[in-house]
Amino acid sequence: MKKRAGAPAPNDIFSDNHRWGDLDDWNRTALALHAEGGIHRIEREGFRPFWAVIDHAAVLEVERDPGLFTNGPEPVLATNAQIEGRQAVIKSLIHMDAPDHGKYRKVIADWFKPRTVGRLEPRLDELSAKAIAKLESARGEIDFAVEVALPYPLEVILAILGLPESDYPRMLMLTQQLFGQEDPDLQRGEVSPEVQAQVIGDFNAYFSQLTASRRAESTDDLASAIANGEIDGRTLPDLETMGLYIIAATAGHDTTSSAMAGGMQALIEHPDQLAKLQSAPDELMVNAVEEMLRWTAPVRHFMRTAQADTEILGQEIAEGEWVYLSYKAANLDPNVFDDPLRFDIERDNAARQISFGYGVHFCLGAQLARLELRNLFAHVLPRLATVELAGDPATMKTTFVGGHKSLPIRYSLT
Ligand code: HEM
């Protein structure tokens, strides 16, 4: 049978953004793909062919060899048209390889060390209290994704960067547009290179001004560390400075809020697990959050490019070929996770989830994201006497960072 132009391959749950709108179906298909093998060739019109790696061990193996499998030149799945039409390329950590990557990562890494992140605990307590205040005033029905999960991580990032709360709406809009561009609800009109350039232009204008002010007067925040950062004794070039701001401002937002909303939905849909967690939050919270991360895998993938002929799981990979690392499917690998479609907060190896990636690019914000999730659920769950879905949740139809657009819940408080 002739393939329809642009039609996805039957095994393509990766590049087709519509498949990401129905996560139950996505999960079931991923599990079926595991039965066929750990690596799959995906050919779809409009995209360069790529190898989708879904096997947990193989994803780690690829990440363990960043010299052979580089992030550059294209670390995120994009159509040929997007790649060819791209106007401005702002290089951030995820676009970089050795030796630049390590040097730039060092400029901001201190701000994400456990001790530094631990200092944010009082701020997290405040934000969790704010979430509860919203639940109290909403009187029994709220969109948990919009009212709780979206604002929380964004306010944390603003606090680390040292930005005022008045900049909140602008950052919210821009991060959603950068990450959710394929989703019709979040677009600025058509998805096009011009639109992307416009979003990046807005970021540029905002952060150029910020750099100037922090260079004039340094304050104790991440924005000052970036503005005054040096590599090999020189201030960072403008585009790379922008890249660090953008990754710091965006990487921790939709990602963490997706895990929060997805975690809440999982608890609602598994009332036995919710009851268990409510009965012993101190003992179970750490593992429950790992299971929520395994379950939600908000960063769906990153790409690598093979720098030499090689093989993955016995499959030959040619130099220059594109490799898709499926964190979401790897978290459902039945060789690692027993009955992977079961949400189980006491799963004994939930911490083997690889939602934060692995190796030299391992998520800088992993510790922070975990603290945020633990803090929110530790505050909110004891107050929930009852909770159920009050409508259909809606998830973003994006191939990169995805999560909830809406999670309507009905609840009563103790
Ligand atoms: C649940 C929430 C989060 C998830 C699932 C997540 C996931 C990821 C993944 C998969 C990567 C790439 C890892 C790899 O290539 O091996 C990454 C990189 C990164 N993440 Fe996160 N992330 C989350 C939250 C955060 C937060 C809160 C921040 C900071 C505010 C953050 C900052 C970063 C940065 C800076 C990088 C680039 C690291 C590099 O390339 O060296 N992330 N994250």
Alpha-carbon torsion, ordered 235, 241, 247, 250, to 10 deg: 130
* pLDDT at position 246 over 90: no
> In this structure, how many other beta carbons lie within 10 angstroms of the beta carbon of residue 21?
17
Q: How many CA atoms lie within 13 A of 83 on its CB side?
A: 12
Q: Are 325 and 59 in contact (CB under 8 A)?
A: yes
pLDDT of residue 201: 80
Q: What is the pLDDT of residue 359?
A: 98
- The reported pLDDT for the residue numbered 91 is 83
Percent of the chain's residues with pLDDT above 70: 92
Q: Which residue's alpha carbon is at the smallest distance from atom 35 of ligand 1?
A: 364
Q: How far is the CA of 257 from the centre of ligand 1 (A)?
A: 13
- What's the pLDDT at 7? 54
- State which H helix or E strand residue 37 sits in: none
Q: How confident is the model at residue 172 (pLDDT cuts 50, 70, 90)?
A: confident
Q: What's the pLDDT band for 105 if we cut at 50, 70, 90?
A: very high
What does pLDDT average to over the chain?
91
Task: State the average pLDDT over residues 184-208.
Answer: 69
Report how far residue 12's alpha carbon sits from residue 329's, in angstroms, rounded to the nearest whole number. Answer: 12
Average pLDDT, stretch 327-338?
Answer: 98
Rg (CA), the chain: 21
| Structural contact between residues 246 and 210, judged by C-beta atoms closer than 8 angstroms | no
In angstroms, rounded to a whole number, what is the distance separating the alpha carbons of residues 156 and 160? Answer: 6
Give the mean pLDDT of 165-178. 76
Q: What pLDDT band is residue 2 in, cutting at 50, 70 and 90?
A: very low
Ligand 1 atom closest to Cα of 357? 16
Tell me what the mean pLDDT of segment 188-217 comes to. Answer: 79
What average pLDDT does this structure show over 112-127?
94
Mean pLDDT calculated for residue range 1-27: 74
What confidence score (pLDDT) does residue 153 get?
94
Closest by CA to 77, choosing from 363, 331, 400, is: 400
H helices within 184-336, ranges in order? Answer: 193-216, 222-227, 238-250, 254-269, 271-279, 281-296, 327-330
pLDDT band at 239 (very low <50, low <70, confident <90, very high): confident
CA distances to 17, 24, 193, 248, 264 from 20, in Å: 5, 9, 22, 25, 19
pLDDT for residue 187: 47
Calpha distance 242→226 (Å, rounded) = 9
Asked if residue 5 has pLDDT above 60, the reply is no
Atom of ligand 1 nearest to the CA of 96: 40
pLDDT of 11 reads 76
Residue 115 tokens, joined:
């001790």
Tell me what pLDDT residue 90 has: 75
Report d(CA 182, CA 399) in Å as an integer: 8
Q: What is the pLDDT of residue 242?
A: 86
CB neighbour class for 192 (10 Å; exposed up to 12, middle 13-18, buried from 19): middle
Give the mean pLDDT of 218-232.
93
Look at ligand 1, atom 17, and give the residue with the nearest C-alpha.
363
Q: Does the pLDDT value for residue 206 go beyond 70? A: yes
Cα(357) to centroid(ligand 1), Å: 8
Query: Which domains occur in the chain, in start order?
Result: 105-302+322-413 (1.10.630.10)
pLDDT in tens, 354-369: 999 999 999 999 999 9
Distance 402 CA to ligand 1 centre (A): 13
6 falls in which pLDDT band (50, 70, 90)?
A: very low
Which letter does DSSP use for residue 308 in this model?
A: S
Distance 276 CA to ligand 1 centre (A): 30
Separation of CA 365 and ligand 1 centre (Å): 6
Atom of ligand 1 nearest to the CA of 358: 16
Ligand 1: residues with CB < 6 A are 63, 93-94, 105, 157, 247-248, 251-252, 255-256, 259, 298-299, 302, 327, 355-359, 361-365, 368-369
C-beta of residue 8 within 8 angstroms of C-beta of residue 50: no
pLDDT tier at 180, thresholds 50, 70, 90: low
Q: pLDDT higher for 61 or 197?
A: 61
In sequence order, what are the beta bridge partners of 40? 52
Confidence of residue 330 (pLDDT cuts 50, 70, 90): very high
Cα 358 to ligand 1 centre (Å): 10
Residue nearest to atom 16 of ligand 1 (CA): 357
Average the pLDDT over 366-373 and give the result. Answer: 97
Closest-CA residue, ligand 1 atom 7, reads 356
Neighbours of 141 (CB within 10 A): 11
Residue 188 pLDDT greater than 50, yes or no: no
**Residues in Cβ contact with 289 at an 8 Å cutoff, skipping those fewer than 6 apart:** 263, 370, 373, 374, 377
Low-confidence winner among 13-27, 140-154, 353-367 (lowest mean pLDDT): 13-27
Query: Ligand 1 centroid vs 245 CA: distance in angstroms?
Result: 14
Report the first-to-last Cα separation within the chain, whole angstroms.
60
Q: How many residues make up the chain in this entry?
A: 414
Cβ neighbours around 161 below 10 Å, total: 21
What's the CA-to-centroid distance between 250 and ligand 1, angstroms?
10
Q: How confident is the model over 54-94, as pLDDT tens digits?
A: 999 999 999 999 999 999 999 999 999 989 987 766 788 99
> What is residue 182's predicted lDDT score, i.e. its pLDDT?
54
